Structure 1
Amino acid sequence: MTTDTAHRVDGARPADGTGAWAVLLPTGRYEAERLVHHDTLELTGLADAARPRPGDRVAVLVDAPPRLVALGRVTGAGGEEREDPDDPQSERVEAPLVVAYTRRAFDEPAPADALALDGPVTALDPAAFGALADRLGPPPQRRSWLVSLDLPIEAASPAEAVRLFWAYVQELGPRELPAFVSPSGDELAMQAFVLGAEANQDPEEDD
């Protein structure tokens, strides 16, 4: 059985779309990715790191301890580009490494303790990547959920109340406002979530 051990790619680089990589999320980025849905992950500050190619597979991890939180494929390989593509004299700026998510496991990361990371981007042997990805198991079945956010708001009109509602949502966001979620057709199973995790909203149960 293949163990989760990282291997550098020596000699000729693999063709586009055949490489495999581990990408380490920067400090604090895990919470941001867990709180709000994103279709892609963009990373900068990788000037000295190895460069995945478009189509390469990516395992997205967090450290301390190492855990697998997502899988994806490279859609933008980063490097440098002109600040103004139409002006050949414009300054060169860093282009981000862009990874399109294909599987997310931010709520239930898989352990990756045996994976040897070598900086923010590490080349992986394809077999090691496959063994790591297998730890996530089959994708969970999707279902319909009802999600609500109730705020008591004092206003002079319904339109003003709606404006104040969106102002509070933008200001406070998922870090402070509880969202209520339940399976469709089973409102009695409603749960409150704050910071992406279930949170008790009954003050009597805290006593």
Structure 2
Amino acid sequence: MTDTVLRTSGTIDGTTTGAWAVLLPAERYEAERLVHHDTLELTGLDDAVRPRPGDLVAVLVDEPLRLVALGRVALATTETREDPDDPQSDAGPGTLVVSYTRRALDEPVPVDGLALDGPVTGLDEAVWRKLADRLGPPPARRSWLVSLDLPIEAASPAEAVRIFWSYVQELGPRELPAFVSPSGDELAMQAFVLGVEANQDPEEDD
């Protein structure tokens, strides 16, 4: 399938904005939910798929199909990380970079009647607009207190801090519980593991 066919809402001379649907694998979606990223970097795409900077993007996950974010194609960097959740992963060639403009990672919106033919599918801009409208206005932002408490044995405060950061890098959000509460309402504190609320009271599990 050629670039001309895929750019259903634009032209190949760059004078019109294109629109695209990007389908994330389940494991990549989970990684995006765990750590905040300003951009979504995708590698290993078909060379025939060539979204251009400024094109509109709807980010979706499958089974069932849900809309999880909106964005625009940004200029690709010279290299990207194969796993953005792992800063130690090997670098790979840059392919597609999407700058997020709206996220719904924690409350994805169900999508019906949209057929996708791969990781990146050209959309009519009117279809993209309908998807964007389903998200509605962004929720109001507020201040939150987030903490991570670890009991650490060490010979000095400085050593304890070093060990703390080693644990954070090694275990990360998949294993360490983070505690979050609205600023000024610490009694409403909740623990989160793997990006979702997690009960940390063993007595309540009995």
- Same-fold status (TM-score > 0.5): yes
TM-aligned CA deviation for residue 99 of structure 1: 0.4
Letter in 2 for 1:105: A
Structure with higher helix content: 2
Q: Is the 8 A contact 1:147 1:179 kept in 2?
A: yes
How far apart are the structure 2 equivalents of 1:123 and 1:63?
17
Gaps of 5+ in 1: 1-6, 83-92
Shift of the 57–14 alpha-carbon distance from structure 1 to 2, 3 Å rule, reads: farther
The Cα offsets for residues 38-81 of structure 1, whole Å up to 9 and x where unpaired, read as 01111111124421111001001111111111100001369xx8
Equivalent residue for 1:87?
none
How far apart are the structure 2 equivalents of 1:77 and 1:166?
31
Equivalent residue for 1:73?
72
Equivalent residue for 1:56?
55
SS in structure 2 of the partner of residue 23 of structure 1: strand
Taking the TM superposition and a 5 Å limit, the aligned residue runs for 1:82-121 are: 94-121=93-120
Taking the TM superposition and a 5 Å limit, the aligned residue runs for 1:160-179 are: 160-179=159-178
Higher relative contact order (CA 8 A, sep 6+): 1
Structure index of larger Rg: 1
Taking the TM superposition and a 5 Å limit, the aligned residue runs for 1:1-207 are: 9=8, 12-13=11-12, 15=14, 18-76=17-75, 94-207=93-206
Letter in 2 for 1:13: I
**Percentage of identical aligned residues:** 79
Shift of the 11–132 alpha-carbon distance from structure 1 to 2, 3 Å rule, reads: closer
Shift of the 164–53 alpha-carbon distance from structure 1 to 2, 3 Å rule, reads: same
TM-aligned CA deviation for residue 113 of structure 1: 2.6
Query: TM-score scaled to structure 1, two decimals?
Result: 0.85
Tell me how large the CA RMSD over aligned residues is.
Answer: 2.2
Query: TM-score scaled to structure 2, two decimals?
Result: 0.85
Structure 1 ranges of 4+ moved more than 2 A: 10-17, 47-50
How far apart are the structure 1 equivalents of 2:187 and 2:9?
57
Aligned residues: 189
Equivalent residue for 2:85?
none
Q: Is the 8 A contact 1:17 1:57 kept in 2?
A: no
Q: Is the 8 A contact 2:10 2:16 kept in 1?
A: no
The Cα offsets for residues 132-187 of structure 1, whole Å up to 9 and x where unpaired, read as 11111110000000000000111111011101110111111101100000000000
Q: Is the 8 A contact 1:16 1:54 kept in 2?
A: no
Gaps of 5+ in 2: 1-5, 80-91
Q: Is the 8 A contact 2:145 2:182 kept in 1?
A: yes
Letter in 1 for 2:70: L
SS in structure 2 of the partner of residue 72 of structure 1: strand
SS in structure 1 of the partner of residue 20 of structure 2: strand
TM-aligned CA deviation for residue 116 of structure 1: 0.8
